[in-house]
């Protein structure tokens, strides 16, 4: 009997736990009124992640359009320069070989300065070469080196400057188009003159930006190599400065001076003759006067 009562109590308790809760009364909120945010979707692999990035919108402030983001493919703009100073064995042979290397890699010499100082033959070349042939040409030029005195290679990244200038150029061109449209709709001379004044300023800025862009393009497309190569030759023999040599030179100089003075006197013979005549007349006049003074009076 006791077991039956215990079993009935356990069964009653189990039924209460399984019973559903009563629906909420009026004025109470419902569970359907609360919206829980769904967790963000996480990509399962690399391909799905790439698709999500490619489909994400990007706002373009210039055109006021929504575009799909895409990776930047703009190549870097780098200006490269190399400085080489070489000592060569044979100046003439190295000059010929270096010119052959320059022609082979389709480069050109923009400046050349040759110096033949005492005991040294030296040449300085400024070479312009395409960026693709820059390193091969440097390696070939080094082949003529008997002694490498200096080698310096520098690179300057002008990508940011290029993009900034390109953006300014395109912006100014759009402004120019708007001014041209306004000029076509101008109604009087005053408006035409005002628009043309602003348009002239814009066009000057466009020309300056275009010139800078062209300069950067040239510097990037053609790298610069400054090549100095030289050959040391036997020094020039200094002149003989011994005492005997100096005495001989002094005697020769004295004789040359005497001859020069004699020639000068010969050239001035009319003046010498005139001076001699005047002195003779003066002495004769003085003598006759002295005789008159000393003659006794009768």
Residue with tokens 């290679």, as numbered in its chain: 153
Stated pTM of the model: 0.51
pLDDT band at residue 29 under the 50/70/90 scheme: very low
Cβ count near 102 (within 10 Å):
21
Domain membership of residue 270 (yes or no) is: no
Q: How confident is the model at residue 126, as a pLDDT?
A: 95
Q: How confident is the model at residue 9, as a pLDDT?
A: 63
pLDDT band at residue 53 under the 50/70/90 scheme: very low
Residue-range definition of the domain harbouring residue 213: 159-221
List pLDDT tens digits, range 165-203.
Answer: 999 999 999 999 998 998 888 889 998 999 899 999 999
Q: How confident is the model at residue 248, as a pLDDT?
A: 84
- Are 94 and 105 contained in the same domain? yes
Domain membership of residue 294 (yes or no) is: no
Q: How far apart are CA 298 and CA 291, in angstroms?
A: 16
- Residue 86, judged by CB atoms within 10 A of its CB (0-12, 13-18, 19+), counts as buried
Q: How confident is the model at residue 250, as a pLDDT?
A: 85
pLDDT band at residue 30 under the 50/70/90 scheme: very low
Does 216 or 266 have the greater pLDDT score?
216
Q: How far apart are CA 172 and CA 196, in angstroms?
A: 15
Domain boundary among 156, 175, 199: 156
pLDDT band at residue 50 under the 50/70/90 scheme: very low
Domain membership of residue 184 (yes or no) is: yes
Domain membership of residue 146 (yes or no) is: yes
- Are 146 and 101 contained in the same domain? yes
Q: What is the overall mean pLDDT for the chain?
A: 77
34-38, 78-82, 239-243, 261-265: least confidently modelled range: 34-38
Domain boundary among 221, 250, 275: 221
- Are 169 and 209 contained in the same domain? yes
pLDDT band at residue 62 under the 50/70/90 scheme: very low
Domain membership of residue 50 (yes or no) is: no
Does 30 or 77 have the greater pLDDT score?
77
Domain boundary among 137, 156, 175: 156
Domain membership of residue 173 (yes or no) is: yes
Domain CATH number, residue 136: 3.30.70.60
Q: How confident is the model at residue 284, as a pLDDT?
A: 79
Domain membership of residue 233 (yes or no) is: no
- Are 92 and 152 contained in the same domain? yes
Q: How many domains does the chain have?
A: 2
Q: How far is residue 161 from each of residues 123, 128, 235, 294, measured CA to CA in Å?
A: 35, 22, 51, 114
- Are 139 and 175 contained in the same domain? no
Domain membership of residue 117 (yes or no) is: yes
User: In sequence order, what are the residues at sequence separation of 6 or more whose Cβ sits closer than 8 angstroms to the Cβ of residue 58?
Assistant: 66, 67, 68, 69
Residue 173 phi/psi, 5-degree rounding, is -65, -40
- Residue 140, judged by CB atoms within 10 A of its CB (0-12, 13-18, 19+), counts as middle
CA-CA-CA-CA dihedral for 49, 50, 54, 56, to nearest 10? 10
Picking from 111, 124, 116, the residue whose alpha carbon sits closest to that of residue 84 is 124
Give the sign of the dihedral formed by CA 34, CA 39, CA 40, CA 41: negative
């Amino acid at each position: 009997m006791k077991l039956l009562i215990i079993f009935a109590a356990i069964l009653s308790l189990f039924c209460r736990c399984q019973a559903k809760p009563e629906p909420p009364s009026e004025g109470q909120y419902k569970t359907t009124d609360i919206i829980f945010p769904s967790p963000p979707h996480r990509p399962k692999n690399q391909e799905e992640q790439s698709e999500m990035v490619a489909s994400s919108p990007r706002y373009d402030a210039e055109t006021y359009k929504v575009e799909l983001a895409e990776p930047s493919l703009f190549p870097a703009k780098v200006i490269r320069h190399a400085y080489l100073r070489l000592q060569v064995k044979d100046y003439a042979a190295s000059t010929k070989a270096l010119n052959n290397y320059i022609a082979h890699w389709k480069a050109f010499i923009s400046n050349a300065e040759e110096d033949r100082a005492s005991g040294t033959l030296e040449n300085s070349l400024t070479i312009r070469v395409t960026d693709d042939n820059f390193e091969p040409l440097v390696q070939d030029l080094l082949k003529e080196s008997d002694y490498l005195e200096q080698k310096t290679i520098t690179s300057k990244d002008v990508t940011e400057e290029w993009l900034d200038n390109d953006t300014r150029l395109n912006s100014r061109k759009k402004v120019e188009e708007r001014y041209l449209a306004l000029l076509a709709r101008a109604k009087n001379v005053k408006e035409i003159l005002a628009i043309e004044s602003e348009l002239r300023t814009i066009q000057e800025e466009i020309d300056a930006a275009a010139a800078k862009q062209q300069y950067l393009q040239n510097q990037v497309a053609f790298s610069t190599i400054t090549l100095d190569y030289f050959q040391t030759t036997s020094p020039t023999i200094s002149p003989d400065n011994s005492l005997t040599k100096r005495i001989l030179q002094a005697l020769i100089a004295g004789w040359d001076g005497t001859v020069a003075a004699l020639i000068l006197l010969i050239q001035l013979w009319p003046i010498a003759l005139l001076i001699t005549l005047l002195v003779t007349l003066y002495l004769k006049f003085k003598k006759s006067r002295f005789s008159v003074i000393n003659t006794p009076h009768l």
